[in-house]
Amino acid sequence: MCGFVCLWNVGDETLASKMIHKIAHRGPDAVQVARLEGAPVVMAHCRLSIIGPEDGDQPIYQTGDMLVANGEIYNHADLRAILGESAFETESDSETILHLFRSGESRWISKLDGMFAFVLATPKRVIAARDPLGIKPLYVARIGGGHAFASELKAFDGVPVESVEAIPPGTLFDSRDGWRHWYRTPHGAAEAEAEFDVDRTARELRLVLEEAVAKWMVADVEVGSFLSGGLDSSIIAAIAQKGLRDQGRGPLKTFSVGTEGSPDLLAARRVADHIGSDHREHVFTAQDLADAIPHVIYHLESADIDLVRSAIPTLFAAQLAVKEVKAVLTGEGADELFAGYAYHHDYVDNPRALADELTRSLGTMHNINLQRVDRVTMSESLEARTPFLDRELIDFAQSIPASLKLCRTDPQAKESTGETTEKWILRKACADLLPADLVWRKKAQFDEGSGTVDTLAEALRLLTGAVGEVDRDGEGALYERILRQRFETPERILAAAGTWDSSARVAV
Catalytic residue among 2, 46, 407, 430: 2
DSSP string, 243-261: HHHHTT--PPEEEEEESTT
Told to judge if 2 belongs to the known catalytic residues of this protein, a careful annotator would answer yes
Closest to 121 measured CA to CA, from 148, 139, 143, 145: 148
Q: How far apart are CA 135 and CA 303, in angstroms?
A: 20
Beta strands in 238-363 (DSSP E): 253-258, 278-283, 327-329
Residue pair 131/115 in contact (Cβ under 8 Å)? The answer is yes
Cα pseudo-dihedral 360, 366, 368, 374, rounded to 10: 150
Amino acid at 24: A
DSSP string, 145-175: TEEEEESSGGGGTTS--SEEEEPPTTEEEET
93 a known binding residue? yes
Q: How far apart are CA 323 and CA 43, in angstroms?
A: 30
Closest to 424 measured CA to CA, from 353, 297, 337: 337
257 a known binding residue? yes
Beta strands in 233-371 (DSSP E): 253-258, 278-283, 327-329
**Cα angle, residue 7 at apex, residues 67 and 106 outer, rounded to 5°:** 45
Binding site, residues? 93, 257
Q: Which residue ranges are tagged as binding site for ATP? A: 257
Annotated binding site for L-glutamine: 93
- Which residues are known to be catalytic? 2
